[in-house]
Structure 1
Amino acid sequence: MELKRLTHLAALLLACSTPAIADIEGSADHPLLGRFGDATISAYQASNYDVATLPSGPIANARAVDNQLELQGRVTRIGYRLPVAHSALEVARNYEATLAEGNFDVLFSCAGSDQCGFGFSRYVLNLGVVFPRGFDRAAFNESFRALLAKRADAQGTAHVFLYFMEDRANNRTLVRQIVVESEPLQLGQVSVKDASALQAALDTDGSVIVDGIFFAADSATIEAESAEALEQMAELLRSAPELAVYIVGHTDNQGSLDYNLELSQRRANAVVEALSALDGIDAARLDARGVASLAPIASNAGDAGRAQNRRVELVLQ
C-alpha cells in the first residue's frame, strides 16, 4: 500500500485534539489503523514474527472454543483508553467505516453476550490466549462489542481484531486492537558458531551459548534446522577428546517453575541424545542439566527477551 494511502487511512480516526494523557513509552498507532479521537495508548506489544489467536465467531464456553483463527506474522497489540462519553457503539461504528475505506472485509462482528456468547469476554480478556495476561485492565459487563476484519491484496494479508468495552465505573471506554500482517518467516537470521568459536568462548568464559538449536513449541523435539549447530558442537568434541561439558537447557519464565525445570531438562537430554548419535561422540563426556528460567540473560517482560532466554549452553565441567 502506498504511504499516502496509509497516512490517509490512519488519519480517518485521528481527531485534532491532543490526548490529555501521554501514550506509554515506546508505543505508536499501527500504520494501517489510527486511533479514535482523544484516545491514549495504555498497553502496547509488537513482535516481528509471532502467533496470534483471534476469535472468529461466538464463544459460549471460553474453555472449549472452536471459533478461532490461528495466524502467524507481524503482530501488534494495542490498548487504548477513551472518555466514557464515547460509547462502544460510537467507537465501533467509526472503526467499521475506517476499515471499509481501507478495503477490509468484516468477517465477524457481535455485541454483548447474546450475540458474542457468554464465554467471549473471558476468552478475549482473561485467559491469556488473545491478549497476554495483565495486558491492560479489563471491564466485564454487557456494554461490549467486537469485530474481526481482513484485507488481502498485492501488499499482503492483514487481519484486524477489535474489542470495545464501556467501563462506566471508571469513566472510560476501552479499545483493544490486534493487527496481524501475515508474511513468510525470514529464516537464516541466526549465525551458527563454528567449532573454533565455541572453543574460544569456552577458553575465555568457561561457557558458551549455542545459537541455532531450535525446539518445537512447548516440546523437547529438536527441529531439523538445528543440524548445523549440532554438527559444530560435535566437531568441537572431536577436536578436543579430553573435553567434558554440561549441556544446559534454559527456558523463559512463562508457566510454572516446576514445569519449566522438567522441560529444560528434557531439552538438555535431547541435545545429549542427538550428539551421542553422531560419529565419535562419547555420551560419558556430556552431562545434561535443565535450569528453567533461573539464569536469564534478558528481561522476560517481552517477547524479544524471552526468546533470548530460551537457549542451550555449553559449560565446562
Structure 2
Amino acid sequence: MNWKRISGLVLVYGMLAAGAAHADDVEGSSDHPLLSRFPTATIRAYQVRNFDEALLPSGRIDDAEATENLLKLEGRVTRIGYRILADHSVLEVMRNYENALSQAGFETLFACDSHEECGVDMMALISNSGRVRPQGFGDAFFGETAERALLARRSGPDGEMHVFLHMVEDTSNKRTVLYQEIVEAAALSTDQVKVLQADELKQSLDRLGHVAVSGVYFDTGKAEIKPESDAALGEMAALLEADAALKVYVVGHTDNVGGLAANMALSEARAAAVVERLAAAHGIDEARLSPHGVASLAPVASNAEEAGRARNRRVELVVQ
C-alpha cells in the first residue's frame, strides 16, 4: 500500500468533514476522493472523464482565446462547480484549500488574488463551453468582485496530480462560486478502436453505401491530420486501389460543441485534408474524391455525453 499517498489524502480530508452527498447536489455527482467540500457547499455542475485533455491556467488570462499561460495536460479529469453560501468569503474558502493542499504535499504553481491579477478573461475561460459551468457563473461576475485562483501540483509514485481552483463572489445572489478541476495521471487505453481493413470498408460500402473510417485523428479545432492516422489512411487507399472505378465523397463530421458555421468550415477542411493526403501519399486520383463537411448535422449518437460526441467526430466515405 502506498502510505505516503494515503497519508496525503487523510490530511486533505482533515480540512473538513468528509463531503457526503447533499440533497441539492446535481444528480450523480460527488466530491473528488482527494478533496472534501467546504461546509454549506453544494455541487451545481459535475463532469468526470477517464481520459481527457485539460488546459489549466498557469498565469494571468487576458485573452480566453490565446494559448499562453495555459498548462496542457492529459489524464483523468474531474470538473466540479460548487456553490457556497455568501457568509463565507472567497478569502476564507481559498485559505482552507491552500492549507489542506500544502499539508498534502502540493506545491503552488500559480496563484492570483484579484480580478486584476487573475486577468480580465480568467472568468471567460472558466465559463467557456468546454468546461462544466456552475449555475450563475457568467457575465454577472464581470466588474468589481472578489476573485481568486490557484494551480497546485504534487508528484508521486503514481505520477503527477494537478488541482486548479477558481473562486468568485456572486454578490447579487449572495454566494461564492467555486470551480474545481483535478487532473490525475492516467494511462490511456489505446486498444478500444480498431482500424477497419480495406475489405471491411468495401463490405460496408457495398451494403450501406457509406462507411465511417475510425482512426483518423485531428487536434481539437484543427484540420491537420495527426501521424497516428497513417494506418487508417492506408486502408482507405487500399480500398480505392482495389477498385479503380470507385468514386467517393469524403465527408467530415463534428460534434455540436461550438458554432455551426465554424464546425461546417472545420469539417470540410478536415475532409479536404484527407483527400489531399490520399492523393499526395498514396497516389489516388483526386478526381475520384470529393471532400465535403456537414458539421454536426448527421449525428450517429447523442451529443449530450462525451461518448456520443466522440462517435459523432468522424470521417466517412460515401459512394458517389
- Tell me the TM-score normalised to structure 2 length: 0.84
Q: Deviations over 1:39-95 (max 9, x none)?
A: 221111222333322233345666778544333332221101122222222221221
- Tell me the TM-score normalised to structure 1 length: 0.85
1:6 and 1:31 in contact (8 A); partners too: no
1:15 and 1:38 in contact (8 A); partners too: no
Task: Report whether the alignment pairs 1:253 with 2:263.
Answer: no
Letter in 2 for 1:305: G
Q: Deviations over 1:272-294 (max 9, x none)?
A: 22223455744333222211111
- Is the partner of 2:84 in helix, strand or coil? strand
Deviation of 1:209 after TM superposition, in Å, equals 0.8
Matching residue within 275, 278, 287 for 1:275: 278
Q: Identity, % of aligned pairs?
A: 48
Report matched runs for 1:175-186 at 5 Å. 175-183=178-186, 185-186=188-189
2:62 and 2:122 in contact (8 A); partners too: no
Distance in 1 between residues matched to 2:31 and 2:163, nearest whole Å: 13
Distance in 2 between residues matched to 1:231 and 1:158, nearest whole Å: 38
Task: Report whether the alignment pairs 1:198 with 2:201.
Answer: yes
2:90 and 2:176 in contact (8 A); partners too: yes
- Is the partner of 2:238 in helix, strand or coil? helix
Which residue is equivalent to 1:11?
A: 13
Task: Report whether the alignment pairs 1:148 with 2:151.
Answer: yes
Distance in 1 between residues matched to 2:258 and 2:108, nearest whole Å: 35
Letter in 2 for 1:284: A
Matching residue within 292, 295, 299 for 1:292: 295
Deviation of 1:161 after TM superposition, in Å, equals 1.1
2:145 and 2:171 in contact (8 A); partners too: no
Task: Report whether the alignment pairs 1:72 with 2:71.
Answer: no
Distance in 1 between residues matched to 2:304 and 2:123, nearest whole Å: 23
1:19 and 1:39 in contact (8 A); partners too: no
Aligned pairs, number? 314
Deviation of 1:124 after TM superposition, in Å, equals 4.3
Report matched runs for 1:156-175 at 5 Å. 156-175=159-178
Deviation of 1:117 after TM superposition, in Å, equals 4.6
Q: After superposing the two structures, state which structure 1 stretch, 18-27 or 41-50, moved more.
A: 18-27
Distance in 1 between residues matched to 2:305 and 2:237, nearest whole Å: 33
Q: After superposing the two structures, state which structure 1 stretch, 206-215 or 216-225, moved more.
A: 216-225
